[in-house]
Chains A and B, each alone.
Chain A
Amino acid sequence: DAKTTQPTSMDCAEGRAANLPCNHSTISGNEYVYWYRQIHSQGPQYIIHGLKNNETNEMASLIITEDRKSSTLILPHATLRDTAVYYCIVMGSQGNLIFGKGTKLSVKP
């Protein structure tokens, strides 16, 4: 399974966009990029996933580079409730999720 690299932590001002980067340089052509978040030891919450094209839903946007070696999760207007650990995961051929260390996002007033 392709591994991902994320910054350990990031800060974002409340109301501003939060842009969380992820590198997955060894991703294969049929592997999807998933984003989950986990708020203080609750269960991981699904945010969004994509293969090649950019994706948007009510929570976030996912921008995947053309070579698919990196992606960015965008929370358009971060609130204090978005403070969480954000996991970028490449889903392998077995169809399961192997979590990395993630990025701890702190949204500050």
Chain B
Amino acid sequence: DTEVTQTPKHLVMGMTNKKSLKCEQHMGHRAMYWYKQKAKKPPELMFVYSYEKLSINESVPSRFSPECPNSSLLNLHLHALQPEDSALYLCASSQTLSIGNTIYFGEGSWLTVV
């Protein structure tokens, strides 16, 4: 089983709302990732967690706040977003954060900011 589950699949939020995206995997993976993908563009790396610790932050604005409460879960907390933040948010995981591992992606959460 190579499944990464993301919820919700679709989210519409206002610019003053606080919401969260959730990602879950039960493969025993210890590295988890958030990517953002705008329409007709490739995915862009946002954050990487390794053993529940933030390892990489690609200069993402603070209105995006990641959290890794345990080895199976990854959250992305959203607050005071802008319409330009509307995108597909992809979660991924791999066995560890090391070269040569396979990274598996979820189906993504579609976010619309109004």
Which of A's residues lie within 8 Å of B, judged by CB? 30-32, 36, 41-46, 49, 51, 87, 91-102
A96→B48 contact, CB < 8 A: yes
Q: Give B residues with C-beta under 8 Å from A.
A: 2, 4, 31, 33, 37, 39, 42-45, 48, 56, 88, 90, 92, 94, 96-108
Complex-state Cα separation, A100 to B43, whole angstroms: 8
The listed residue (B42, B43, B98) touching A95 by CB distance below 8 A is: B98
Question: Which 10 pairs between the two chains have the least Cβ-Cβ distance?
Answer: A99-B42, A43-B105, A95-B97, A43-B107, A44-B105, A95-B98, A99-B43, A95-B99, A43-B108, A43-B106
Report A-chain residues with C-beta under 8 Å of the C-beta of B96: 95
A interface secondary structure, majority: loop
A42-B108, A43-B105 known; A96-B44 Cβ under 8 A: no
A87 to B97, CA, bound (A): 20
